[in-house]
Chains A and B, each alone.
Chain A
């Protein structure tokens, strides 16, 4: 148990030291300019996802899917509004409301 506590303490200290080193030495000069670029990205897709399509084509497919999804959401919103409008009409005229049973 003493060996475990000692190892845990030392391991935690080493990790804290690593975090402090990253904060002091690496964070100040870290860059946000690390995009792979089209060629490497295509290579990565081929290596990790077995996707051979060029990035432009993948983007086009994605945008097409996005457009279809947005169309579906718009339709849902319109359907919902129609239902709300119908509900309001029923509230104003109970005789037109659907009968239970």
Chain B
């Protein structure tokens, strides 16, 4: 967990990541930092739970074999979660954080260009059909040799078994009228992904 904190919250370093704190920092600052650290960890944990492929990409293998839930219910829940965290980050008083946390919390209203705080909303799920066409991404399991091949194949099978559910969610969630270039590209992406899957065999991954 310590590595996760260092990895994801840097450069707003958290305590325990080897960064010294000025001894003069007040107890108030330390408490504000501790509260912020806890909030940040809760946020990141929930963020990756909703986006397990990103967790695997970061080398966090508790997310192996998992795929995001694209159902309307799950998306609504995630949007609510993001809004709740937005309020909580907004409530942090900027001046109370220590130097290690950059003196101020991230600005949730703006999101974060590194993707730490996405803007809450349904946009991609409602307006972008590519969201579903590219959802099944098994590349990581093929190109990274992080565990025995048979275990990675098992994860791939678990993920691929969700494909039909994700496409059904797309059909349910997408708006009636969509941007034409998005639709055209999504058709290409979906057919391209199908081509890829039809040609893929476990022997293609690194042994």
Contacts and interface: CB of A to CB of B under 8 A. Distances in A.
Interface in A41-68: 46-50
A26 interface: yes
B171 A14 contact: no
A15 B111 CA distance: 31
Contact of B191 (A16, A26, A46): A16
A4 B136 CA distance: 14
Contacts of B124: none
Contact of A31 (B119, B177, B187): B177
Contacts of B109: 47
B193 interface: yes
Given A11-B160, A15-B194, A47-B111, A22 B186 contact: yes
Interface residues of B, number: 42
Main secondary structure of the interface of B (DSSP, over half): helix
Contacts of A30: 177-180, 182-184
B194 A16 contact: yes
Interface of B: 109-111, 113, 119, 129, 132-133, 136, 153, 156-157, 160-161, 163-164, 166-167, 170-171, 174, 176-184, 186-187, 190-191, 193-195, 197-198, 200-202
16 contacts: A1-B202, A4-B156, A10-B160, A10-B163, A12-B198, A15-B136, A15-B163, A15-B193, A16-B194, A18-B133, A18-B171, A23-B187, A26-B174, A27-B184, A30-B182, A31-B179
